[in-house]
Amino acid sequence: MSEQVDPSEPRILVRTDGGLGRLTLNRPRAINALDLDMIRDLSGALDAWEHDSDVEIVVLDGAGERGMCAGGDVRDLYDQIVAGDSEATGGFFRAEYALDARIAEYPKPVVALADGITMGGGIGLAGHAAIRIVTERSKLAMPETRIGFTPDVGGTWLLAHAPGRLGEYLALTGATMDAADAVYAGLADHLVPSESLDALRDAFATRADPSSPTELVLLFDETPAPSGLAAARAWIDDAFSADTVAGIVDRLRARPEAEASATAHVLGELSPTSLAVTLAAVRRARALPGLRAALAQEYGLVLWFATSQPDLVEGIRAQVVDKDRAPRWRPATIADVAPDAAASALSYVPPIPLWE
């Protein structure tokens, strides 16, 4: 991912206005993809504002018109894995997950404006905020299986608590949600038109009555259109309740809906190992006690992929490096995945714990 960067321009804009602390991801040419320095800057600002009585609300948004955050910088991840630098890989994920947990647990309201593309690591920032706002331009997804990976940044926790079997569907396919879908699936709270975001930020800063953040948002929010995910629940719940990925595909192929057969085709193009592990991870996350436990599980999974599985490097190569969109997965088919692959991944113990 090449990017012309002005070294004098910070990648995180940290500002205060009245009672508002505003954190803006400022890498618009890369749709604000996260690197380690950005994560550290965000964490540092939250640390500084926690005991600052002048800051009452924190707003997290992204620069540019394309999106809040397209995710982590997977090209950096590719370079680390190819170089065998597992220490750098682990360090990035530890810092990122600590930030995600910090946002979820922050003692002051964090408002995330998930305007435009908000995927992967962007969900880690926005999905755990106290108030999660989407717009008519929002496109949310956890598309990790597209690169031979698995949903992380607390994504398995969020998806595990979506209605019915939407969590399995969204995790395995990496399908994109619009605003209505995101609200229905529980990854967003309010729809605010993009043209109203500046006025909303101004209201947060001036603390006009009514004064609570949620009450202010309600002055601007609109009722989403009917969710396509809600309309598709019958075939999604039926197919994605199967015990295995192979069983899910069989049920999809047996359904009369065109969307179901198209979904079976999508799954057939993705990393079989990634699908098996992701299915198990989302289902196990349902029984975990909280976000931190899910992040700890995900940390083990991502290092298992990064240190022992060829599909992650191959997926990034095909999608980002060579861009031939023709990954060669190993193993190549769902039938060839070892029966204990998911159990092996979930039992992996990282050399450095997530929470030190």
* Mean pLDDT for the stretch of residues 296-313: 97
Q: Residue 72 pLDDT > 70, yes or no?
A: yes
pTM of the model: 0.96
pLDDT band at 37 (very low <50, low <70, confident <90, very high): very high
Please, is 257 exposed, middle or buried when counting C-beta atoms within 10 Å of its C-beta (0-12, 13-18, 19+)? middle
- Tens digit of each residue's pLDDT (9 = 90 or more) over 179-192: 999 999 999 999 99
Residue 121 annotated to the active site: yes
- Tens digit of each residue's pLDDT (9 = 90 or more) over 38-61: 999 999 999 999 999 999 999 999
* Mean pLDDT for the stretch of residues 216-244: 97
* Mean pLDDT for the stretch of residues 128-151: 98
Average pLDDT, the chain: 95
* Mean pLDDT for the stretch of residues 290-308: 97
Residue 152 annotated to the active site: yes
CA-based nearest residue to 158, from 133, 131, 185, 138? 185
Q: Residue 210 pLDDT > 70, yes or no?
A: no
Question: What's at 151, amino acid-wise?
Answer: P
Candidate list 41, 61, 152, 178, residue with the active-site label = 152
Q: Which of 52-61, 72-81, 205-214, 326-335 has the lowest mean pLDDT?
A: 205-214
Q: Residue 346 pLDDT > 70, yes or no?
A: yes
Candidate list 21, 62, 72, 148, residue with the active-site label = 72
pLDDT at 208: 60
**In which element (H, E) is residue 41 found?**
helix 36-50
Task: Please state, in angstroms and as integers, the Cα–Cα distance from residue 319 to each residue in 139, 165, 234, following that order.
Answer: 19, 28, 32
pLDDT at 2: 36
d(CA 204, CA 113): 13
Candidate list 62, 90, 120, 121, residue with the active-site label = 121
Residue 3 annotated to the active site: no
DSSP 1: -
pLDDT at 1: 34
Q: Which domains does the chain have, with CATH numbers?
A: 12-346 (3.90.226.10)
Name residue, tokens 């090209």: 75
